[in-house]
Amino acid sequence: MSTAPGLGLPERIRACLFDLDGVMTGTATIHAAAWKEMFDAYLKARSDTNGEAFTGFDQVADYDTYVDGKTRDDGTRSFLHSRHIDLPDGHPDDPAGTESVKGLGKSKNEIFLRRIQEDGVEAYPGSIRYVRAVRSAGVHCAVVSSSANCGAVLEAAGIADLFELRIDGMTIAKDHLVGKPAPDTYLAAARALGVEPDQAAVFEDALSGVEAGRAGRFGLVVGVDRSGQAEDLARHGADIVVGDLADLMDPT
């Protein structure tokens, strides 16, 4: 028996915690393109200055492995470390383009905001249907994102009213939470909704996100495969993997 018949949720689930980029909206591809534009410009300038061979940021492999699901600073550090580049963290006031973690991250953010302003944001119809059905069944819903732009993306996509609670990059900074793959953000959402982790389901498209769900011992971890990484999602912690949240719904 399920909490909400036809929604693929175990009986004990009282809350659903949804990642934003790649689960609710198509902004994961916009983030990946913004990271590539920023890192390629930095790596090319570094190559021109130091004579190092230029190898660009891979918008699929590098994004999935080092950046996806992480905070802006953590994603910047992770990719740079993969290239054996060690930069200072810098200061939050560093201008975009400063050779620091903060400066490069600010460049990426400006590119991302420019792209969503130019191209807009689309929410996945299957995800909207699923969240509305979950809410109608009396199950709590929260959006949990590492992005500091979460609120702006929700508003641009017209789905801010779907969620009772938002835990995002701004919350991470304010409450000094550890970002994904640590479970802290999802645990914070569960606490705020008044449920235990084993009473909550996590919905993630990022490898770091399903790792966070597994680390937090949540009642269900759903991997959402938008880019052909179903096996990796399962290996990193997803209990089940679907191509779209609508796949969880009983077709009747």
Active site positions, annotated:
19, 21
- Kindly state the tokens that stand for 162: 């779907």
Burial of 129 (0-12, 13-18, 19+ CB in 10 A): middle
Q: Please tell me whether the peptide bond between 197 and the residue prior to it is cis, using omega within 30 degrees of 0.
A: no
Q: Residue 23's beta-bridge partner residues?
A: none
Region for 158 from its dihedrals, namely left if φ exceeds 0, alpha if ψ lies in -120 to 50, beta otherwise:
left
Q: What angle do CA 216, 34, 89 make, to 5 degrees?
A: 65
Phi–psi pair at 163, nearest 5 degrees: -120, 140
Angle between helices 150-157 and 101-119 (to 10 degrees): 10
CB count within 10 Å of CB 157 equals 21
